[in-house]
Amino acid sequence: MVSALGMTAVLGGCGAGADSDEVTLRLVAADYGDSEANSSQKYWDGLVEQYEKKHPNVTVDVSVYSWNDVDRKVKEMVAAGDAPDMAQIGAYADYAADDLLYSADELLSISTQADFAAQFASAGEVDGTQYGMPFAASTRLLFYNKTLFAEAGLSAPKTWDQLAADAAALKADGVKYPYALPLGSEEAQAETMQWLLSGGGGYTENLGTSYGIDSAENVATLTWLKDDLVGKGLTGPVAPGKLNRADAFAAFANGQVGMLNGHPTLMQMAAKKGVKFGMVPMPGVDGQTKVSMGVADWMTAFKQNGHAEQVGDFLDFVYDEKNVLAFSREYDLLPVTASASDVMSTAARDKDLRPFLEELPLSELYPVGRTSWATVSAAVKKRIGGAVVSGGSPTAVLAGLQSTALRAESGE
C-alpha cells in the first residue's frame, strides 16, 4: 500500500455544541490505492459527498493513512484520549477487550448485519459479540507465469511434489525465483498461514479454540519447505526471511518469478507489465488445498464520542450493496456482504475475481478475535524465516512461537 493522501485529521471536539443538532463524525481509514489517482481518499470523499447531501446535519471527516501507519495512528489517538468515531483498520480485538467499541448490534440495521458473509461476522466476534465489522476481504491463489511454464513444458502443480519439480525445471531454465517465498517482515504471517493450511495445519486447532502452532502437521510443512524448496535453491537469490511480499509481487510483474501465492491485486500489477499468468488453488500434500487463507480488514466504532445513531446510519450507507461493489471493484478486493458477492459471482465485468470468490466460502481467517494475535503475528514475522534457512530448526522455531502465543493468551 502507498502513503496516504489527504492526511489532515480533525482533532478538535466532535459535534457543534449542546444546542446544535449538527454532528461531525471522524473516520480514520486505510489506503488501498497504489497512486494518487486511486487513493482511498478519493473513494471516501465521493461517498461522503453523497451521504452529506441527504444528511445536511452530519459532517463526516475522513483521514486516510497508509497501511504502514494507520493502525499505529489510531492506537496513538486512542491512547491520547482522542479516539475517532470510526476506524477502518487491521484489527479490533484489543479495543473490544478494553470495552472501547460499540457492538454491531448497537449500530447497524438488522438487514445490514444479516448481509455480512457468515465467516466474517463470526470472525468479528469477541466472546460471542460482534465488534469487528468486516470491510474488505481477499483470498490467496497460486499464481504462475504462463510463458515461463510453457517454455519449460510445465503444467500448473496440484501437489507439493509437483510444485518442487516445476520449480526445479524453472531453475534449470535460469528463472530467478522459481518459487518466491516471502517470509520477510512485511507479511510473513500470510505466506506462513497459507503453507500451514496446505499441510493440514494452521495457527489454531480444536475448531479455533486454542493455538496449535507447534503441531506435527506444521513441523512437517516447514521441514518440507526447508529441505525440498529452500535447501535445493528453488526460492531465488534472496533468503525467504529477507524477502517481502511487495518485492516478490514486483518481481513476478517483471517476469522474474515462476510461482508465488498472490491476492487479487497482483492480477492488475502483472497485467500492466504484460505478464501472462494463470491462477490455481494452492497445492497440498496429496492434491489441491481444500482450505485457502482468507484475510479481512475491519471497521470499528469507538464509544468515546457517543453518536451511535449517526455512526450506525452512516455505516448502513457504507455497506449498501452499490457502495460495497464500487469499493471492491476499484481495488480488486472481495466483498464482505452476501448481496455484493452474489452480483460479482455472475457479472461479466467481475469474471477475473471469480476464482478468488469461489475460494472465499472455504477460507480460514487469522485468529483476529484473540487479543493475543497481534503479538503472535509480530513474532511470526520476526522469526519464521529462521525456520527454513540452512541449520534452522522448524521444531524449535514453532515451539518458541507456541510459547509466545500461550504467554500472550495468559496476559504475560
pLDDT at 157: 98
pLDDT score for 412: 66
Shared fold status for 23-138+295-365 and 141-291+372-409 = yes
Kindly give the parts of the chain with pLDDT less than 70: 1-20, 412
SS3 letters for the chain? CCCCCCCCCCCCCCCCCCCCCCEEEEEEEECCCCCHHHCHHHHHHHHHHHHHHHCCCEEEEEEEECCCCHHHHHHHHHHCCCCCCEEEECCCHHHHHCCCECCHHHCCCHHHHHHECHHHHHHCEECCEECCEEEEEEECEEEEEHHHHHHCCCCCCCEHHHHHHHHHHHHHCCCCEEECCCCCCCCHHHHHHHHHHHCCCCCEECCCCEECCCCHHHHHHHHHHHHHHHCCCCCCCCCHHHCCHHHHHHHHHCCCEEEEEECCHHHHHHHHCCCCEEEECCEECCCECCCCEEEEEEEEEECCCCCHHHHHHHHHHHCCHHHHHHHHHHHCCECCEHHHHHHHCCCHHHHHHHHHHHHHHHCEECCCCCCCHHHHHHHHHHHHHHHCCCCCCHHHHHHHHHHHHHHHHCCC
pTM: 0.84
Looking at domain 141-291+372-409, does it have CATH number 3.50.50.100?
A: no
pLDDT digits (tens, 9 = 90+) for 371-411: 899 899 999 999 999 999 999 999 999 999 999 999 999 87
Candidate CATH numbers 1.10.357.10, 3.40.50.150, 3.40.190.10, 2.60.120.650; the one for domain 23-138+295-365: 3.40.190.10
Please give the pLDDT value at position 268.
86
Give residue limits of the domains in the chain: 23-138+295-365, 141-291+372-409
